[in-house]
Amino acid sequence: MTTQVIVLNGGSSSGKSGIARCLQAVLPDPWLALGTDTLVDAMPASMQASDDGIEFSADGEVVVGPEFRTLEAAWIAGVAAMARAGARVIVDEVFLGGPDSQERWRAALGGLGVLWVGVRCDGEIAAGREVARGDRIAGMAASQAELVHRGVVYDLEVDTGRAEALECARVIAGRVAGRAG
């Protein structure tokens, strides 16, 4: 089955967005890159100050409420609809709920060719990137580095602590080419 969706799952500052941009450069066809940050940025500011929305604790913990889950479900269904309509999509995700998060995506993407990619990065390396970025709450990268992978099943894993984003993207693109047709 041809790969229509690439799901990149990894913690904050693990390198998913860099890999997504590199994938867009190395894959032969145009791919849309959509991420959980896009979803959060699209939400009203009030959602980030509400128990119903998404909260970022001072220690980096992320807590989501029922209104966030409602909008997230619509987001996931919309991304799946774009893929069904012919768009190739790279999803930049953080599975805070581990296998439950993956299952929400798996259900929505049913019948589509999906490549599940774990983007790993040592927590200390991700924490250093987090500081350099300056746009993340300190502690988020370290707390998510392993958490987001527990119980999640992948077709492929890459490690951005051991390889640059472009090298990781080439490995993923090779897998996409091998699954095409």
Between CA 133 and CA 29 the distance in angstroms is 30
Between CA 40 and CA 96 the distance in angstroms is 14
DSSP 98: T
CA-wise closest residue to 96 among 143, 141, 140, 148: 148
DSSP 47: G
Contact at 8 Å (CB) between 7 and 175?
no
- Which of 37, 52, 122, 159 is catalytic? The answer is 37
Catalytic: 37?
yes
Contact at 8 Å (CB) between 171 and 159?
no
Is the Cα dihedral 54, 48, 124, 163 positive or negative?
positive
User: What does the DSSP assignment read for 162-181?
Assistant: TS-HHHHHHHHHHHHHHH--
Between CA 4 and CA 13 the distance in angstroms is 25
Which positions are annotated as active-site residues? Answer: 37
